[in-house]
Each structure stands twice: as structure tokens, then as C-alpha cells.
Amino acid sequence: MTATQTLTGRTALVTGSTSGIGLAIARLLGVAGANVVMNGLGSAENVESAITEVRSVAHGKITFNAADMRNPADIASMIECAETEFGQVDILVNNAGIQHVAPVEDFPAERWDDIIAINLSSVFHAVRCALPAMKRAGWGRIINIASAHALVASPYKSAYVSAKHGVAGLTKTVALEAAAGGVTVNAIAPGFVDTPLVSLQLDNVARAHSVSRDQAFEEVVLASQPTGRLIGVDEIAALALYLCDDAAASITGAVLPIDGAWTAK
């Protein structure tokens, strides 16, 4: 999708934008003219390569903040830095996320804590810090990257499903609180998207069941997603960009599936 520079003068902060969906969203919002604050973990080389990729197509200024989304103080400081540098955060995309798959009775407690912290609590902390300036400005966009697992469950994903259902609830609640102030709050609920997070899951399933990666793909993806293919990261980014448009001003409090009919079943 090509984007006209409709976001010139706006500033977007995209958590977890060194990879996958977050990187695609940072890239497209940058192409659309926004300044973008990127964030994420990873080796210095990977982080640098993600920043270079976004800078090579962006029209606004691109910066990076290494906040660990498990840490509320890091999150508050990241929003404060962005507001100091750019005046305010107009668009907040809460995207950072991790996954762990195990039966609930074997689920490592520290993995539960990390998933709830990164996939759910970080959304609360970022929203509570960024919303006041959006309300003062009378314009803002909060886009939470949830999951089909915000709407339905799968076995062995207790922490992820709980966190993503929580994101859906938080999205609706904040949308109601912000509705009169020009700030929209929505969640995008993707099915299986072609990113490292899914690739790792396919590797794990193939190893655990001693099957090929193709068989793992059939068991994990085809069984859930009637379209029978992984979703592209650019498909998710395109919806995020649309939600930033003034034409989307009345879409708020929505949990919007892009899931190849997974949750239609």
C-alpha cells in the first residue's frame, strides 16, 4: 500500500517495532509522514538495521527508545522523552508482545508474569502516560495490537489468551473514557501473521511432535485460519494507518479482526 503523507506533523510511538508487525507499522506511519519513536529489544545490530530500514522510507524524524516493556518506569520515561522531543505523542501503537506455549499446569510462573507484563500491563502504563496530552490536544489515536486470542482461546496459551482478552477489555474501557475528547482507542486482532513470533511457534510444534515444518503449518495455521495462508505484516499496518485517518474518527472501542475468518467459525 502506498501512503500519502497524511500524518505529517504527527508523532507516533510504536512499541516492539524492531521486528514483525511493529516494524511494518513504524515503516508505514513513517512513509505517511509521521515522526516515529521506535522501541524494542534485540541485538544492537538488529535494532540498528530496523531503524535504518524505517529511516530509508520515512518522511518524518525517526528515533529509538530501548524501554523494556516489563518496566513501568521505563515506559513512563519513554513517553516523557517523546513528549519532550516532539511536543506530544499523537499516535500510540501498543504492539510489543511475546508468546509461550505450555499446558497450564506446567506453565512457568515467570513466563506468565512476563506475558502479562509485556502483552497487557505495558498497554495500561503507556496509555495512562500518553492519554492526558492527547486529551489536551483534542486528537489522538491509540491502537492496541491484540490477537484473535482476544476473542477466542486455544489450548496451551493461558497467559497469552488472558493477556489479549485483557487488552480487548482495556481498549473498550479507555475508548469510553476518551470518546468525547477526540481520541479513538481500538484493538486490531490478527490471526496468524508471517513474523518471527509465529515462525518460532512452528519450529517448536515441529520439534515437540517430531513432524516437518510443513506438517506443523498444517496443524497450527491451516486448522485455525480458513484462508489457509499466513497474513502479511503490511495487511496489519494498512489497517493501523487507516485508523489514524480522520475518516476513522468514529471507529472507537472496536476489536477488529484480521484473521482470515478464524473467529467467524
Nearest-angstrom CA–CA distance, 34 and 60: 5
For residue 63, the cross-strand partners are 37
Q: How far is the CB of 90 from ligand NAD (least distance, A)?
A: 21
Q: How far is the CB of 24 from ligand NAD (least distance, A)?
A: 8
For ligand NAD, give the closer residue by CB, 81 or 137: 81
The H or E element spanning position 142 is strand 140-145
**Cβ contacts of 182 within 8 Å, gap of 6 or more:** 134, 135, 137, 138, 139, 140, 249
List the x/- string, 14-33, binding to ligand NAD by CB under 6 A: --xxxxxxx-----------
Confirm or reject binding of residue 144 to ligand NAD (CB under 6 A).
no
Q: Is 190 in the site for ligand NAD (CB under 6 A)?
A: yes
> Which strands form 11-14's sheet, in the order they lie side by side?
62-65, 35-39, 11-14, 91-94, 140-145, 183-190, 255-258
The residue range among 78-86, 171-179, 185-193, 238-246 that interacts with ligand NAD, by the rule CB under 6 A, is: 185-193
CA-based nearest residue to 258, from 211, 188, 194: 188
Distance CA 1, CA 187 (A): 21
Among 37, 193, 206, 216, binds ligand NAD (CB under 6 A): 193
Instruction: Work out whether 96 is an interface residue with ligand NAD (CB under 6 A).
Output: yes
C-alpha grid cell, residue 63? 528515533
Q: Does 166 bind ligand NAD (CB under 6 A)?
A: no
Nearer to ligand NAD, 32 or 145 (CB): 145
Q: Of the listed 64, 86, 160, 217, which one is catalytic?
A: 160
Chain residues binding ligand NAD by CB under 6 A are 16-22, 39-42, 68-70, 95-98, 118-119, 145, 147, 190, 192-193, 195-198
- Active site (catalytic) residues: 160
